[in-house]
């Protein structure tokens, strides 16, 4: 186990654990970004709308993996969801996440 894996956990293992439990991939990029390419089967809710759609997201009753272009917006979305009781992890950039799925 590498030093960073020791500090932060192995993201690939956590992604696998979440997906094994039926996790929903939530892409929080803009509509134009999402329309230009996204993970097949992912849900799209732009970051600015995440707070307003908490109840809808909670109804999924599944863990959530957030993603965006680089991981910044998905980190913000994950924090919003976590503070509202949703089991969530920041999957980072969608292209990198796609390679780990």
Say how many domains are in the chain.
Answer: 1
In a domain, 1, yes or no: no
What is the phi/psi pair of residue 27, to 5°?
Answer: -90, 125
Question: Residue 9 — pLDDT band, cuts 50, 70, 90?
Answer: low
In a domain, 64, yes or no: yes
| Token code pair at residue 69 | 């272009």
In a domain, 51, yes or no: yes
Q: With 50 as the cut, is the pLDDT of residue 5 above it?
A: no
Q: With 90 as the cut, is the pLDDT of residue 95 above it?
A: yes
User: pLDDT (tens digit, 9 = 90+) per residue, 10-68?
Assistant: 788 889 999 999 999 999 999 999 999 999 999 999 999 999 999 999 999 999 999 99
Q: Is 86 exposed, middle or buried (0-12, 13-18, 19+ CB in 10 A)?
A: buried
**Residue-level pLDDT at 13:** 86
Q: What is the CATH number of the domain that holds 73?
A: 3.40.250.10
Cα–Cα distance measured from residue 42 to residue 34, given in angstroms and rounded to the nearest whole number: 10
In a domain, 4, yes or no: no
Cα–Cα distance measured from residue 89 to residue 65, given in angstroms and rounded to the nearest whole number: 5
């Amino acid at each position: 186990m590498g030093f960073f894996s020791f500090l932060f956990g192995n993201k690939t293992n956590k992604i696998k654990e979440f997906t094994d439990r039926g996790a929903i991939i939530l892409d929080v990029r803009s509509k134009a970004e999402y329309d230009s390419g996204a993970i097949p089967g992912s849900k799209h809710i732009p970051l600015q709308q995440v707070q307003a759609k908490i109840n809808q997201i909670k109804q999924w009753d599944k863990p959530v993996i957030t993603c965006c272009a680089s991981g910044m917006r998905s980190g913000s979305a994950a924090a919003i969801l976590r503070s509202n009781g949703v089991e969530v992890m920041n999957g980072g950039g969608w292209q990198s996440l796609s390679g780990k799925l």
